[in-house]
Amino acid sequence: MPVDAILFDKDGTLFDFGATWNSWTAKTIHHLAQGRPEVVQGLAKVLSYDLDRGEFRRDSIAIASTNSEISAVMAPYIDHMDVAELEKYLTTSAADATLTEAVPLVAFLDDLLARGKVLGVMTNDSELSARNQLQQAGVMDHFAFVAGFDSGHGAKPDPDPLLAFCTAVGVDPSRTAMVGDSLHDLEAGDAAGMRRIAVLTGMALHEDLAPLADVVLPDIGHIQAWLDS
């Protein structure tokens, strides 16, 4: 069955996860710790962030969770913000992070639109961050639908936000592809009855994603060839 609509995850899919978030997270940890080494170590532990290597480990909660979930595990180490303040800080500071595109996005998305595909973004980040970052990358106007965990549709791996995309753009889930780098993305796509495209620009390995994916690609730049196959 042909694919008429494509719903993208954001981090690890449109943007390379490690290249975008590893250095930002190190700065954020040290900023929040306010010079206290024990807080640095505590935050790194709950985030599964390797301070020596300056990168996330593959089991990090930060890879696919919402800001509210991430804030909840960080909050016991932060005595100058409550959970709500911490979540707001993460949301606003992440919105201005320096992004590394997985592929040159304007040309890639222009091609998909020229093929008649309807495009959307559903992320477990906040909608504010998603919109700001897509605007920063110059591609916000390519998407007919942008949602975060706080947009009122739920969060992955629940299928509801994916189905909200289909409803919004008028395309049946069976003619829609979910593209993501995590099991949350693929589980949501499976539950929604969508095609599932996994990409390796996040932290998960091929063997992690393959059991739930229709195809595993190196990055989103290989989607056109898959559509043509």
The predicted-structure confidence for 28-76, as pLDDT tens digits, reads as follows 999 999 999 999 999 999 999 999 999 999 999 999 899 999 999 999 9
Of 93 and 118, the structure prediction assigns the larger pLDDT to 118
Whether residue 154 sits in one domain with residue 81: no
Q: Which single residue is written with the structure tokens 């791996």?
A: 157
Q: Are residues 150 and 219 in the same domain?
A: yes
**Domain finish residue from 58, 77, 94:** 94
Residues 104, 157: one domain?
yes
Q: How confident is the model at residue 151 (pLDDT cuts 50, 70, 90)?
A: very high
Same-domain pairing of 104 and 171: yes
State the helix-helix crossing angle for 83-94 and 67-74, rounded to 10 degrees. Answer: 130
**Is residue 227's pLDDT more than 90?**
yes
Residue 207: CATH number of its domain: 3.40.50.1000
The pLDDT score that the predictor gives to residue 201 is: 97
User: Do 116 and 213 belong together in one domain?
Assistant: yes
Domain count, the chain: 2
Do 75 and 114 belong together in one domain?
Answer: no
pTM of the predicted model, to two decimals?
0.92
85 and 106 both lie in a single domain: no
Q: Is the pLDDT of residue 219 over 80?
A: yes
Residue 94: the pLDDT is 85
Q: Write the CB contacts of 119 (distance below 8 Å, at least 6 apart in sequence).
A: 5, 6, 7, 8, 109, 112, 113, 142, 143, 144
Q: What is the pLDDT of residues 73-114, one digit of tens each?
A: 999 999 999 999 999 999 888 877 889 999 999 999 999 999
Can you give the residue range of the structural domain that contains 110? 5-16+100-228
Same domain, yes or no, for 154 and 186?
A: yes
Within 10 Å of residue 107's Cβ, how many Cβ atoms?
A: 9
- H or E stretch including 5? strand 5-8
Same domain for 138 and 85: no
The answer on 30 and 128 residing in a single domain is no
Residues 118 and 223 in one domain: yes
pLDDT of residue 46: 97
Full DSSP string of 127-190: HHHHHHHHHHTT-GGG-SEEE-TTSSS--TTSSHHHHHHHHHHT--GGGEEEEESSHHHHHHHH
Mean pLDDT of the chain: 96
On whether both 208 and 167 belong to a single domain, the answer is yes
Say if CB 136 and CB 162 are below 8 A apart. no
